[in-house]
Amino acid sequence: MTRRSSEVATSRAPRERMTIEERREQLLRVGRGLFLERPYDQVSMDDVAQRAGVSKALIFHYFTTKRDLYLELVRRAAKELVEATFVGEDRPPLERLTTGLERYLDFVEQNERAYVALLTSGVGADPEVLGVVESVRKTFADRILASIPPSETSHADIAVRGYVGFVEHASIAWAQNKKMPKAELIELSIKALIAVLGLQLPGR
Protein backbone atom coordinates (compact mmCIF):
# COMPACT_ATOMS: atom_id res chain seq x y z
CA MET A 1 0.00 0.00 0.00
CA THR A 2 1.84 3.09 -1.13
CA ARG A 3 0.31 6.47 -0.52
CA ARG A 4 0.79 9.37 -2.84
CA SER A 5 2.93 12.10 -1.33
CA SER A 6 0.15 14.69 -1.49
CA GLU A 7 -1.97 12.50 0.77
CA VAL A 8 0.84 11.95 3.24
CA ALA A 9 1.34 15.70 3.30
CA THR A 10 -2.37 16.23 3.99
CA SER A 11 -2.42 13.71 6.80
CA ARG A 12 0.60 15.34 8.41
CA ALA A 13 -0.63 18.89 8.05
CA PRO A 14 -0.94 20.68 11.37
CA ARG A 15 -4.34 20.09 12.89
CA GLU A 16 -6.61 22.93 11.94
CA ARG A 17 -9.66 24.23 13.72
CA MET A 18 -12.58 23.17 11.59
CA THR A 19 -16.27 23.77 11.97
CA ILE A 20 -18.45 20.69 12.57
CA GLU A 21 -19.56 20.84 8.94
CA GLU A 22 -16.01 21.16 7.60
CA ARG A 23 -14.79 18.28 9.74
CA ARG A 24 -17.66 16.08 8.57
CA GLU A 25 -16.86 16.88 4.95
CA GLN A 26 -13.17 16.17 5.54
CA LEU A 27 -13.94 12.77 7.05
CA LEU A 28 -16.22 11.89 4.14
CA ARG A 29 -13.50 12.92 1.67
CA VAL A 30 -10.89 10.82 3.47
CA GLY A 31 -13.29 7.85 3.71
CA ARG A 32 -14.11 8.08 0.01
CA GLY A 33 -10.40 8.06 -0.86
CA LEU A 34 -9.79 4.97 1.28
CA PHE A 35 -12.81 3.04 -0.08
CA LEU A 36 -11.57 3.75 -3.61
CA GLU A 37 -8.05 2.52 -2.76
CA ARG A 38 -8.94 -0.82 -1.25
CA PRO A 39 -11.81 -3.24 -0.56
CA TYR A 40 -14.44 -2.21 2.01
CA ASP A 41 -13.34 -4.93 4.43
CA GLN A 42 -9.78 -3.61 4.42
CA VAL A 43 -10.71 -0.08 5.46
CA SER A 44 -10.99 0.59 9.21
CA MET A 45 -12.11 3.60 11.18
CA ASP A 46 -8.53 3.67 12.49
CA ASP A 47 -7.35 4.24 8.91
CA VAL A 48 -9.82 7.09 8.49
CA ALA A 49 -8.73 8.67 11.79
CA GLN A 50 -5.05 8.34 10.95
CA ARG A 51 -5.31 9.82 7.48
CA ALA A 52 -7.56 12.66 8.65
CA GLY A 53 -5.13 13.38 11.50
CA VAL A 54 -7.79 13.12 14.18
CA SER A 55 -8.50 10.79 17.10
CA LYS A 56 -10.73 7.76 16.65
CA ALA A 57 -12.98 9.17 19.38
CA LEU A 58 -13.59 12.28 17.29
CA ILE A 59 -14.57 10.18 14.26
CA PHE A 60 -17.21 8.31 16.23
CA HIS A 61 -18.67 11.66 17.11
CA TYR A 62 -19.55 12.03 13.41
CA PHE A 63 -20.12 8.44 12.23
CA THR A 64 -21.23 5.63 14.54
CA THR A 65 -19.78 2.86 12.36
CA LYS A 66 -17.76 2.37 9.19
CA ARG A 67 -20.97 1.27 7.50
CA ASP A 68 -22.57 4.55 8.57
CA LEU A 69 -19.81 6.53 6.86
CA TYR A 70 -20.00 4.31 3.76
CA LEU A 71 -23.78 4.60 3.55
CA GLU A 72 -23.55 8.39 3.71
CA LEU A 73 -21.08 8.32 0.79
CA VAL A 74 -23.45 6.11 -1.23
CA ARG A 75 -26.41 8.40 -0.45
CA ARG A 76 -24.43 11.44 -1.60
CA ALA A 77 -23.28 9.78 -4.80
CA ALA A 78 -26.88 8.74 -5.51
CA LYS A 79 -28.15 12.28 -4.93
CA GLU A 80 -25.40 13.68 -7.15
CA LEU A 81 -26.23 11.21 -9.94
CA VAL A 82 -29.96 11.94 -9.77
CA GLU A 83 -29.34 15.69 -9.88
CA ALA A 84 -26.69 15.50 -12.61
CA THR A 85 -28.98 13.54 -14.92
CA PHE A 86 -32.04 15.74 -14.52
CA VAL A 87 -33.13 17.41 -17.75
CA GLY A 88 -35.87 20.06 -17.81
CA GLU A 89 -39.36 18.73 -18.47
CA ASP A 90 -39.92 21.36 -21.14
CA ARG A 91 -37.48 19.62 -23.51
CA PRO A 92 -38.83 17.08 -26.05
CA PRO A 93 -38.72 13.39 -24.89
CA LEU A 94 -35.91 12.26 -27.20
CA GLU A 95 -33.69 15.18 -26.22
CA ARG A 96 -34.38 14.56 -22.51
CA LEU A 97 -33.47 10.91 -22.92
CA THR A 98 -30.30 11.56 -24.90
CA THR A 99 -29.09 14.34 -22.63
CA GLY A 100 -29.91 12.28 -19.53
CA LEU A 101 -27.91 9.34 -20.90
CA GLU A 102 -24.99 11.59 -21.82
CA ARG A 103 -24.86 12.93 -18.28
CA TYR A 104 -25.28 9.46 -16.82
CA LEU A 105 -22.28 8.16 -18.78
CA ASP A 106 -20.27 11.28 -17.88
CA PHE A 107 -20.95 10.47 -14.23
CA VAL A 108 -19.96 6.84 -14.78
CA GLU A 109 -16.69 8.00 -16.41
CA GLN A 110 -15.87 10.38 -13.59
CA ASN A 111 -16.67 7.85 -10.88
CA GLU A 112 -15.69 4.71 -12.74
CA ARG A 113 -14.11 2.64 -9.98
CA ALA A 114 -16.71 3.55 -7.37
CA TYR A 115 -19.55 2.89 -9.84
CA VAL A 116 -18.30 -0.53 -10.91
CA ALA A 117 -17.37 -1.54 -7.35
CA LEU A 118 -20.74 -0.56 -5.92
CA LEU A 119 -22.68 -2.53 -8.51
CA THR A 120 -20.50 -5.59 -9.00
CA SER A 121 -18.23 -6.35 -6.07
CA GLY A 122 -20.64 -6.37 -3.15
CA VAL A 123 -18.56 -3.70 -1.40
CA GLY A 124 -20.51 -3.02 1.74
CA ALA A 125 -23.58 -4.58 0.16
CA ASP A 126 -26.39 -4.50 2.66
CA PRO A 127 -30.12 -3.82 2.50
CA GLU A 128 -29.74 -0.07 3.04
CA VAL A 129 -27.07 0.35 0.36
CA LEU A 130 -29.16 -1.67 -2.07
CA GLY A 131 -32.18 0.41 -1.07
CA VAL A 132 -30.36 3.55 -2.20
CA VAL A 133 -29.36 1.94 -5.52
CA GLU A 134 -32.92 0.73 -6.03
CA SER A 135 -34.37 4.19 -5.37
CA VAL A 136 -32.09 5.66 -8.05
CA ARG A 137 -33.31 3.00 -10.53
CA LYS A 138 -36.90 3.85 -9.62
CA THR A 139 -36.28 7.59 -10.10
CA PHE A 140 -34.91 6.93 -13.61
CA ALA A 141 -37.87 4.68 -14.48
CA ASP A 142 -40.37 7.26 -13.17
CA ARG A 143 -38.77 10.07 -15.17
CA ILE A 144 -39.06 8.06 -18.38
CA LEU A 145 -42.62 6.95 -17.65
CA ALA A 146 -43.57 10.59 -16.99
CA SER A 147 -42.31 11.61 -20.43
CA ILE A 148 -44.23 9.08 -22.55
CA PRO A 149 -47.96 9.24 -23.25
CA PRO A 150 -49.66 6.66 -20.93
CA SER A 151 -51.95 5.38 -23.66
CA GLU A 152 -49.06 4.77 -26.03
CA THR A 153 -48.00 1.40 -24.71
CA SER A 154 -49.19 -1.29 -22.32
CA HIS A 155 -47.11 -2.47 -19.37
CA ALA A 156 -44.61 0.31 -20.03
CA ASP A 157 -43.43 0.07 -16.42
CA ILE A 158 -41.95 -3.41 -16.91
CA ALA A 159 -40.35 -2.40 -20.22
CA VAL A 160 -38.85 0.72 -18.65
CA ARG A 161 -37.50 -1.17 -15.63
CA GLY A 162 -35.84 -3.53 -18.09
CA TYR A 163 -34.40 -0.58 -19.99
CA VAL A 164 -32.91 0.84 -16.77
CA GLY A 165 -31.29 -2.58 -16.23
CA PHE A 166 -29.98 -2.45 -19.80
CA VAL A 167 -28.27 0.90 -19.26
CA GLU A 168 -26.83 -0.19 -15.91
CA HIS A 169 -25.34 -3.46 -17.15
CA ALA A 170 -24.16 -2.05 -20.49
CA SER A 171 -22.49 0.88 -18.74
CA ILE A 172 -20.66 -1.44 -16.36
CA ALA A 173 -19.31 -3.42 -19.35
CA TRP A 174 -18.46 -0.15 -21.08
CA ALA A 175 -16.65 1.27 -18.01
CA GLN A 176 -14.64 -1.93 -17.64
CA ASN A 177 -13.50 -1.93 -21.25
CA LYS A 178 -14.12 1.42 -22.85
CA LYS A 179 -13.66 0.56 -26.48
CA MET A 180 -17.14 1.67 -27.55
CA PRO A 181 -17.61 5.41 -28.15
CA LYS A 182 -19.99 7.03 -25.67
CA ALA A 183 -22.25 8.25 -28.47
CA GLU A 184 -22.69 4.68 -29.71
CA LEU A 185 -23.74 3.45 -26.28
CA ILE A 186 -26.27 6.28 -26.04
CA GLU A 187 -27.61 5.37 -29.48
CA LEU A 188 -27.89 1.69 -28.46
CA SER A 189 -29.75 2.55 -25.27
CA ILE A 190 -32.23 4.78 -27.09
CA LYS A 191 -32.79 2.03 -29.67
CA ALA A 192 -33.48 -0.47 -26.90
CA LEU A 193 -36.04 1.81 -25.26
CA ILE A 194 -37.79 2.66 -28.49
CA ALA A 195 -37.96 -1.02 -29.42
CA VAL A 196 -39.43 -2.18 -26.11
CA LEU A 197 -41.91 0.67 -25.92
CA GLY A 198 -42.87 0.34 -29.57
CA LEU A 199 -42.68 4.11 -29.76
CA GLN A 200 -42.02 6.69 -32.38
CA LEU A 201 -40.52 9.45 -30.26
CA PRO A 202 -40.97 13.05 -31.45
CA GLY A 203 -37.78 14.27 -33.06
CA ARG A 204 -36.96 10.83 -34.43
Footprint on this chain of a second copy (rule: CB under 8 A): 120-122, 125-127, 129-130, 134, 137, 154-155, 157-159, 161-170, 172-174, 177, 179-180, 184-185, 188-189, 191-192, 194-196, 198
| Shortest reach from residue 176's CB to a second copy, in Å | 9
Helices (H), 38-155: 45-52, 56-62, 66-84, 93-110, 112-120, 127-147
| Shortest reach from residue 41's CB to a second copy, in Å | 9
Nearer to a second copy, 80 or 126 (CB): 126
Nearer to a second copy, 44 or 121 (CB): 121
Cα–Cα separations (whole angstroms), residue 193 to 56, 118, 198: 49, 25, 8
| Shortest reach from residue 174's CB to a second copy, in Å | 5
| Shortest reach from residue 100's CB to a second copy, in Å | 16
Nearer to a second copy, 50 or 153 (CB): 153
Report DSSP state, residue 149.
-
| SS3 (DSSP) at 9 | helix
Cα–Cα separations (whole angstroms), residue 178 to 9, 57, 77, 109, 110: 34, 43, 22, 10, 13
